[in-house]
Copies of this chain bind each other. A is one copy, B any other.
Amino acid sequence: MRTFVAAAEAGRFQDAAAELSVTQQAVSKRIAALEKALGVRLFTRTARGARLTVDGQAFLPHARDLLRSAARAVGSVRPGRRALRVDVIGRRLAPAGLLGDFRKAHPEVELDVVTLFDADAAVDAIRSGTIDASFRAVTMPGRQLPDDIRAVRAFDEPLQLLTGPGHPLAAARAVTPAQLAGQRIWMPGIVAGTEWAAYYDDLAAAFGLTIEVTGPDFGTEPLLDTLAGSGSLATFVGEQTRLVWPADHGLRRIAVRDPAPVYPHSLLWHRGNPHPALAVLRDHLRSGRHAVSAAGSWTPAWA
């Protein structure tokens, strides 16, 4: 591909060969091999060089795109000056959406999103320089952040109740946490010891809820299927969580108010991290309308 682009730009195989530090014959063989693989002729050979055919013209922007893609791929892991790397809890949760907004607002910033196992791994990765920042709960009960880690409360995300159409609360426009006492709240896939488990433990204790965090995580589709078919099960989802409906199950998202439980997303980073894009991200968080803890909301005491 690189040879093709070089030849297209130079207009002559010989110049492309010089550019790539190979012989003209090597360029000729490379182009011939590419043409054979594609089944079309990319250049018309003349006595004064090689000009693109129509197929070649159509192919050229795709070839450039592929080279750009390859450069971005290398740039994402290049030691030293790699792209900004941010850890999020889940790809479909609010932090991931926020990073999507950030990407749109700053398309020039190379950004990679990863998901680490837990908050401890995230802190370790931040300290070792493996990642640049992490969206996690700022503090866990009984845990203390190391001195070299900085954190800001980035934004709070209200929780909503997700139920099937047969649930007793399905028709409600909003519910209070007190109304949920006694209801079965099912949160499979929550690993004990993580900040999510701590959050839901506190939430359950504060309002007398029954939250089942047991059970393996089979993915969202089976969860949604089960919810849709159950008349008694419900689960919590973040307000900004984007679900992919496998089909229309008649699922209902119901606001929770008085007080509204909100999940406190925070941004963690290393004190001495010099990555220029990190400052851009922090500015974006500050300048955006990422409201923090409106009145009438609930967060755990440790947040």
Interface residues of A in 251-303 (CB under 8 A from B): none
**Whole-angstrom CA separation of A85 from B62 in the bound complex:** 13
Q: Using A54-B116, A54-B130, A116-B54 as known contacts, say yes or no to A59 and B38 having CB atoms under 8 A apart.
A: no
Interface residues of A in 27-82 (CB under 8 A from B): 38-40, 42, 54-55, 57-59, 61-63, 65-66, 69-70, 72-74, 76-79, 82
Q: Using A61-B112, A112-B61 as known contacts, say yes or no to A55 and B69 having CB atoms under 8 A apart.
A: no
Partner of A83, one of B58, B114, B115: B58
A133 CB–B CB distance under 8 Å: no
Contacts of A59 in B (CB 8 A): 73, 76-77
A125 CB–B CB distance under 8 Å: yes
Q: Is the CB of B38 within 8 A of A74?
A: yes
Q: Using A39-B79, A79-B40 as known contacts, say yes or no to A62 and B73 having CB atoms under 8 A apart.
A: yes
User: Mostly helix, strand, loop or mixed at chain A's interface?
Assistant: helix
A17 CB–B CB distance under 8 Å: no
Q: Is the CB of A72 within 8 A of B79?
A: no
Which of chain B's residues has its CB closest to A65's CB? B69
Q: Is the CB of B72 within 8 A of A40?
A: no
Q: Is the CB of A72 within 8 A of B77?
A: no
Partner of A77, one of B55, B65, B78, B131: B55
**Whole-angstrom CA separation of A52 from B63 in the bound complex:** 28
Partner of A69, one of B38, B54, B69, B76: B69
B-contact bits for A221-238, CB 8 A (1 contact / 0 none)? 000000000000000000
**Whole-angstrom CA separation of A78 from B114 in the bound complex:** 35
Q: Is the CB of A73 within 8 A of B77?
A: no
Contacts of A40 in B (CB 8 A): 77, 79
**Whole-angstrom CA separation of A205 from B85 in the bound complex:** 63
Contacts of A115 in B (CB 8 A): 57
B-contact bits for A136-172, CB 8 A (1 contact / 0 none)? 0000000000000000000000000000000000000
Q: Is the CB of A66 within 8 A of B77?
A: no
**Whole-angstrom CA separation of A118 from B267 in the bound complex:** 57
* A contact residues vs B (CB 8 Å cutoff): 1, 38-40, 42, 54-55, 57-59, 61-63, 65-66, 69-70, 72-74, 76-79, 82-83, 85, 112-116, 125, 130-131
The 4 A-B pairs with the shortest beta carbon distances in the complex, nearest first, are A62-B73, A58-B112, A57-B114, A66-B69
- A-B contacts, 15 of them at CB < 8 A, read A1-B73, A38-B77, A38-B78, A39-B77, A39-B79, A54-B116, A54-B125, A54-B130, A58-B85, A59-B73, A59-B76, A62-B76, A63-B73, A65-B72, A66-B70
Q: A54-B116, A58-B83 are in contact. List 20 more A-B contacts (CB 8 A).
A: A38-B77, A40-B77, A40-B79, A42-B77, A54-B114, A54-B125, A54-B130, A57-B114, A57-B115, A58-B76, A58-B85, A59-B73, A59-B76, A61-B113, A62-B72, A63-B73, A65-B69, A65-B72, A65-B73, A66-B70
